């Protein structure tokens, strides 16, 4: 195995430590502590685990967090009412409605009702639109975590061939836009892409975000590429990424493991966004 393993846990720990310092200065300057509020509708076990991790992370950096656990039969109007109330509450800096929500609720309507100034997930049409137009705003956490890993690894994106596999609103689209903003030459691949492996093999920087276990093998990796695997897939072999790690690490220059690569960055960047939202609201 020749590739350098990109240690997301270590990079995330560095980010969290900087946020902890930032929270302390924010408190000293403003006499209050940033507050993140999370909302879960229903009892999806994976959502419970993710959100608990977010609250633990807040506590570790000295931020306040509150949680609203709503019953599975909550109506769209009830959830809209809560999101609007949180938007008007001067004490609240960040609002995160964990997805998925039950079928009777349209997630797009809920997200659109979040105050863009408190949209720490960067998912509202306002923040997604700001990103699309290259304007400053809150950027969703996994894409900004990917960019932070590339920055930390010293990857030169200027003029580099970047290939993104996946076009989700949460990851694929925003990460492609951020790479473009960093002057990479960006190709977006998806389920209809022809000759996927051949397109991927052009990539100096390969970002896999499709949610298909080990979709990309040795044939999809350019020698010396940097591979960022956003996939977290539960299989009989445990958690695996979208990339065949063993095969790719024989060819790539650097690669993120699953788990321990992009995953820890997502929560770290949520803390960054919550502090940024608090600062912008002063």
Residues that bind ligand GUN (CB under 6 A): 96-99, 121, 141, 170
Minimum distance from residue 39 beta carbon to ligand GUN (Å) = 9
Paired with 145 in beta bridges are: none
Residue 242, SS3? coil
Pairing of strands 226-229, 94-97: unpaired
Q: How many CB atoms lie within 10 A of CB 257?
A: 19
Tokens at 273, concatenated: 């966004």
Complex with ligand GUN: residue 33 or 168, whichever CB lies closer: 168
Q: How many angstroms separate the CA atoms of 106 and 278, rounded? A: 28
Q: Is 54 an annotated catalytic residue?
A: yes
For ligand GUN, give the closer residue by CB, 170 or 272: 170
Among candidate residues 121, 229, 242, 244, the one labeled active-site is 121
CB of 194 to ligand GUN, least distance (A): 29
Helix then strand then coil, % of the chain, to nearest 5: 45, 15, 40
CB of 183 to ligand GUN, least distance (A): 26
Residue 261: helix, strand or coil by DSSP? coil
13 vs 46, beta carbon nearer ligand GUN: 46
**Does residue 130 contact residue 177 with C-beta atoms inside 8 Å?**
no
Q: Which of 22, 263 has the CB closer to ligand GUN?
A: 263
Smallest separation, CB 208 to ligand GUN (Å): 16
Q: Are 107 and 121 in contact (CB under 8 A)?
A: no
Is 133 one of the catalytic residues? no
Structure tokens at 73: 């039969």
Measured between alpha carbons, how far is 121 from 132 in angstroms, rounded to an integer?
Answer: 15
Least distance from ligand GUN to the Cβ atom of residue 142, Å = 6
Q: CA triplet 44, 50, 52: central angle to 5 degrees?
A: 100
156 is catalytic: no
d(CA 31, CA 183): 40
Minimal distance in Å, beta carbon 95 to ligand GUN? 10
For the record, the structure tokens of 161 come out as: 């061939």
Would you say 121 or 229 has its CB closer to ligand GUN? 121
The residue nearest ligand GUN at its CB is: 99
| CB nearer ligand GUN, residue 170 or residue 176 | 170
Query: Which of 15, 91, 7 minimizes the C-alpha distance to 273?
Result: 15
Which helix (H) or strand (E) covers residue 268, if one does? helix 263-280
List, by residue number, the catalytic residues. Answer: 54, 98, 121
């Amino acid at each position: 195995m020749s590739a350098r393993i990109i240690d997301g846990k270590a990079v995330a720990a560095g980010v969290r430590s900087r946020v902890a310092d930032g929270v302390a200065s924010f408190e000293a300057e403003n006499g209050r502590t940033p507050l993140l509020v999370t909302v879960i509708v229903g009892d999806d076990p994976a959502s419970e685990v993710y959100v608990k991790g977010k609250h633990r992370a807040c506590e570790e950096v000295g931020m306040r967090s509150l949680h609203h656990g709503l019953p599975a039969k909550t109506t769209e109007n009830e959830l809209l009412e809560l999101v609007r109330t949180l938007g008007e509450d001067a004490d609240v800096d960040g609002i995160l409605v964990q997805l998925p929500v039950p079928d009777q609720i349209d997630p797009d309507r809920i997200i659109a009702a979040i105050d863009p100034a408190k949209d720490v997930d960067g998912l509202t049409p306002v923040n997604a639109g700001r990103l699309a137009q290259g304007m400053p705003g809150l950027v969703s956490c996994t894409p900004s975590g990917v960019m932070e890993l590339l920055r930390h690894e010293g990857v030169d994106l200027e003029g580099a061939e970047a290939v993104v596999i996946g076009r989700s609103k949460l990851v694929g689209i925003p990460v492609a836009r951020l790479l473009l903003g960093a002057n990479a030459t960006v190709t977006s691949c998806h389920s209809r892409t022809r000759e996927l492996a051949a397109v991927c093999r052009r990539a100096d920087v390969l970002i896999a975000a499709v949610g298909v276990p080990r979709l990309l093998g040795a044939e999809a990796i350019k020698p010396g590429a940097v591979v960022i695997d956003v996939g977290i897939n539960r299989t009989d072999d445990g958690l695996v990424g979208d990339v065949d790690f063993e095969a790719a690490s024989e060819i790539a220059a650097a690669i993120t493991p699953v788990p321990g690569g992009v995953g820890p960055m997502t929560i770290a960047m949520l803390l960054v966004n919550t502090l940024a939202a608090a600062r912008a609201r002063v």
